Structure 1
Amino acid sequence: MGNEPRPPIVSSGPSGSPALARRLGTADATLIGLGSMVGAGVFAAFTPAAAAAGSGLLIGLAVAGLVAFCNATSSAQLAAAYPASGGTYVYGRKRLGPWPGFLAGWGFVIGKTASAAAMAMTFAAYAAPAGWERPVAVAAVVLLAAVNYRGITRTALLTRIIVAVVLAALALGVVAAWTGTGPEAGTFLSDGLLAGGWYGILQSAGLLFFAFAGYARIATMGEEVRDPRRTIPRAVTLALGLALAVYAVVAVTLLAALGPDGVAATPAPLAAAVESGPLAWAGPVVRIGAAAASLGALLALIAGLGRTTLAMARGGDLPGWLAGIHPKYQVPHRAEVALAVVVCCVILVADLRGAIGFSSFSVLVYYLVANLAALTQPASDRRYPRALQVLGAFSCTVLALTLPLSSVFGGLAVFAAGVVLRLVRLRTQRP
């Protein structure tokens, strides 16, 4: 009897509904967040950022990191007070009302569904033979959905492996890039950091912020974290700090090896930097790392999407059957299966090149709601100055409006569709 394993902590969900098991400590939660941020973006996001701002992407990276920090502190403060699945959907409903919460949840589910499909296609672009990209992408979604279905501890274990592979590939890529014959460090500053103008810098910040947004995955899994008031703030801060350090090293390396024009000219800048130097043999290793990074991001996206969908189903904003929790594995299995089917359909029929801009718009709206919700918290729940929430809300608005117009209008149209659907649901539910 004394040697039996300790069962996971299980608490009651909202309104007495079945709850998820609290299995995650600080290390696992940090790794899930880091695996979400150090994903495919670290291998590809610098290309559009360099096209928008040139060397000014370094300023854009700093701006994106500052905005992400503001949003991270708001998310951590809220998650510590409301440790339930759903992230900003839950916080918005509790602090601001049903409509802001719905807009945050709708933006997250729709935007991140597109992101999940994009991550699967990115993985396939690196790992699949020509002509097999879509089937391989679908297979990746099915495989990782099955991993999530088996329980959150398996998600955390696989994330540890993926993060280790990605960081090893990045380290090799950085070392190999610095051995090349490209521009010396500092020569990429010859045109000045402001050559792309402030609008270009802000656009690069919006694009790079998309890559940082993975720390929300920690908050959306608040119902599965042990001692959430302590664990969530620590995990969010640690994951963001580590990701920012990785991105800064990679950004300087790429600019030094290829120059701003060279970074903007290739969809795989780190692989290009490595393959142009004397250690070209490391190029395939970097590509393997990019494929693993895409899998890591996809894995965390599926986990976060399932839990936000669970929360919206509990709140009546999505069909109630999606709130089901598996009696053995303690995961929102119906939500995850449904989302996996939707993501696979998107992969099979859609061209996802414009999905990043649309998803960025949705994510920025999501964090706008998070900052506004944190701003209303009482002193007893406050962990960070209000100025951070004000700066975060203002910055999210500015970055959203500086995205390409097609992304802005597409995002507004999807939010309008969500509003109409909710109005119809509310009207049909009236007695």
Structure 2
Amino acid sequence: MAATSTGPGATSPTTVGAGTSSRADAVRPGPRRGTLTVAQGTALSVGAVLGTGVITLPALAADVAGPASLVAWAALVLLSVPLAATFAALGARLPDTGGVSTYVRRAFGDRAAGAVGWCFYFAIPVGAPPASMMAGGYVADVVGGGRTTTLTVAAALIAGTAAMNAVGLRLSGRVQLALAVTLALLMVVTMSLALPHGDADHLSPFAPNGWGPVATAAAVLVWGFAGWEAVAPLSAEYRNPRRDVPRATAIAVTVVGLLYLGLAATSLVVLGPATGESEAPLSDLMAVALGDGARVLTAVAAVMLTLGAMNAYFAGGSRLGAALGRDGSLPSALARGSGPGEVPRRSLGVLTLGSGLSLVVAAVLDLGLTPLMLLATGCFTLVYVFGTGAALRLLPRWSPGWWTAAVAFVATLGLLVVNGLHTLWALGIVAASLAYRTRTPHESS
């Protein structure tokens, strides 16, 4: 899960799917000029995309495809260009705090907007366990205990995050942005110190498992690139959206691409075949450069980063569920707590229970991170399909922005296909959402 929040410098899931009111009720841009600069917008966009995946994804991708996983990394970086540019074009032309939800509603109507909300809401229970298990792997790397420690830490993070939100405690957007900046600096320092210990021979054979697994690796890596939709709701806060949104987005894409590719390549060159076997690749790289004492630092950073990301998703997701209940896209029992300043404890309870059950299933079936991540990334990818599809209807046809959206739409459809059978989870969520709205028609006020 990429670290997001209501200011996180990014957007919470609430901005992606909350609210299923009529088009006339959609939030419309006002005359107020924002205060966000290009530098601030760049930092927020980078913070939205860099998330928990970076602490483990290099190992997961390498385990699937070996050094050829670099091709998957490069493909996702290239996909980020039209994807981020599409949301930048939407943000520059239609600056609005509603983000993807508003665009999907304007393009396809309330039911489609509700389906996007369901995709995000039900991605959280299957995404929280692997996110928390990533941090648990770093703790286990320091204190030992293997899978038992990993699962214990994961359970503690889920329970702790739920408890924080239940009493109304949330990490501020500034704190979460600081965590993302700390992660970026840690990545740069790690690469700089570890790369001199690398060996280019570790890249051979380049595709030990063949080229087919590269597509699977790309589907997994979507986890680390979710967050570009944050550009859209942030657009209304820029001083000059038409000028500043594209600039900030271009810089953010470059920074994120260099960091991700650099870390993936450094892991493979320095750790070699051991990359795919590592549960804590950043710790292993730091240990190569500075000794085993550095593992404690990276474990603390991994736990804090994960806590920030999970807090953002639980906070935004619980409010999203309450909003969907309020507007008729979920049972009205979940609507309690949807008002300003209220705590949506029922919706939070659904997310917590779902996350706990997913973790139990992972423990009982001895599942690794990949299966649950693919279920979550399928939902994220489907949201991008909706978002880029909306752009094709809202942007001027045949304009540069329209062509960019067309490329992004086709590419995200391709990612949905390579996600394989896991895509059925996301498609099933959409079908269930549409069936629910059909069974329980709701008239917007």
Fold shared, TM-score > 0.5 on shorter chain:
yes
Task: Report whether the alignment pairs 1:55 with 2:55.
Answer: no
Q: Give the counterpart letter for 2:205 in structure 1.
A: D
SS class of match (1:325) = coil
- Post-superposition offset of 1:365: 0.9
SS at match of 2:205: coil
- Corresponding position: 1:188 with 2:188: no
For the pair 1:103 / 2:118, whether they are aligned, the reply is no
Q: Deviations over 1:346-370 (max 9, x none)?
A: 3433225432111111111111111
Contact 2:92–2:243 (CA<8 Å) still a contact in 1? Answer: yes
**Structure 1 residues 190 and 17, CA, compared in 2 at 3 Å: closer, same or farther?**
closer
CA distance in 1, matches of 2:269, 2:168: 39
Cα shift at 1:16:
9.0
**Alpha-carbon distance in 2 for matches of 1:148, 1:95:** 36
Contact 2:125/2:358 (<8 A) preserved: no
Does the aligned pair in 2 maintain the 1:116–1:343 contact within 8 Å?
no
Please give the residue correspondences for 1:38-53 in structure 2 after superposition, counting only pairs within 5 Å: 38-53=50-65
What is the rounded CA distance, in whole Å, between the counterparts of 1:340 and 1:256 in structure 2? 43
Residue 220 of structure 2 corresponds to: 207
Q: Indicate the residue corresponding to 2:91 in structure 1.
A: 79
Q: Deviations over 1:332-389 (max 9, x none)?
A: x445x55543333234332254321111111111111111111122439x97443322
2:285 maps to 1:273: yes
Answer yes or no: is the 8 Å Cα contact 2:134–2:279 preserved in 1.
no
1:246 deviates by 0.8
Q: 1:139 aligns with which of 150, 160, 169?
A: 160
The reply on whether 1:174 has 2:191 as its aligned counterpart is yes
Find 1:392's aligned residue among 397, 401, 408.
408
Query: Aligned partners of 1:386 and 1:357: how far apart in 2?
Result: 29
Contiguous gaps of at least 5 residues in structure 1: 1-12, 327-332
Q: Conserved in 2, the CA contact under 8 Å of 1:137 and 1:347? A: yes
Aligned-partner SS, 2:329:
coil
Q: Shift in Å at residue 177 of structure 1?
A: 2.4
**Which of 354, 374, 380 lines up with 1:363 in the alignment?**
380
Question: Quick one: distance in 2 between partners of 1:264 and 1:147?
Answer: 39
| Alpha-carbon separation, structure 2, partners of 1:289 and 1:281 | 14
Q: Matches of 1:295 and 1:23 in 2, distance apart?
A: 30
For residues 163 and 399 of structure 1, do their structure 2 counterparts lie closer, same or farther at Cα, with a shift above 3 Å needed?
A: same
Q: Please provide the CA RMSD for this pair.
A: 3.7
Q: Secondary structure at the match of 1:379?
A: coil
List alignment gaps of at least 5 residues for structure 2: 1-20, 144-148, 363-368
Q: Distance in 2 between matches of 1:44 and 1:155?
A: 25
1:247 deviates by 0.6
Query: Judging changes above 3 Å, is the alpha-carbon distance between structure 1 residues 233 and 341 closer, same or farther for their aligned structure 2 residues?
Result: farther
Quick one: which amino acid aligns to residue 201 of structure 1? Answer: V
* Pair 97,63 (structure 1): closer, same or farther in 2 beyond 3 Å: same
Q: How far apart in 2 are the matches of 1:219 and 1:310?
A: 22
The Cα shift of 1:143 comes to 3.4
Q: Report how far residue 158 of structure 1 moved.
A: 0.6
Matched residues in 2 for 1:122 and 1:376: separation?
39
* Corresponding residue for residue 433 of structure 2: 418
Give the stretch that moved more between structures: 75-84 or 155-164: 75-84
Asked if residue 15 in structure 1 is aligned to residue 31 in structure 2, the reply is: no
Q: Distance in 2 between matches of 1:254 and 1:57?
A: 11
**Per-residue deviation at 1:123?**
3.7
What is aligned with 1:165? 182
Deviations 1:32-89 (A, max 9, x none): 4322322211111122211222111111111111222222122222233444444322
Which of 260, 264, 267 is residue 251 of structure 1 equivalent to?
264
Mapped partners of 2:261, 2:153: distance in 1: 34
CA separation in 1, counterparts of 2:57 and 2:213? 15
Aligned pairs, how many? 399
Deviation, 1:243, is 1.5
Question: TM-score, normalised on structure 1?
Answer: 0.78
Q: Distance in 1 between matches of 2:239 and 2:315?
A: 17
* Structure 2 Cα separation of the partners of residues 22 and 144 of structure 1: 32
Is the 8 Å Cα contact of residues 92 and 369 (structure 1) preserved in structure 2? yes
User: What is the TM-score normalised by the length of structure 2?
Assistant: 0.76
Percent identity between the two aligned chains? 22
**Offset of residue 159 of structure 1:** 2.1
The change in CA–CA distance for 1:189 and 1:299 in structure 2 (over 3 A counts) is: same
Judged with a 3 Å threshold, the aligned counterparts in structure 2 of structure 1 residues 401 and 379 are, in CA distance, closer, same or farther, namely closer
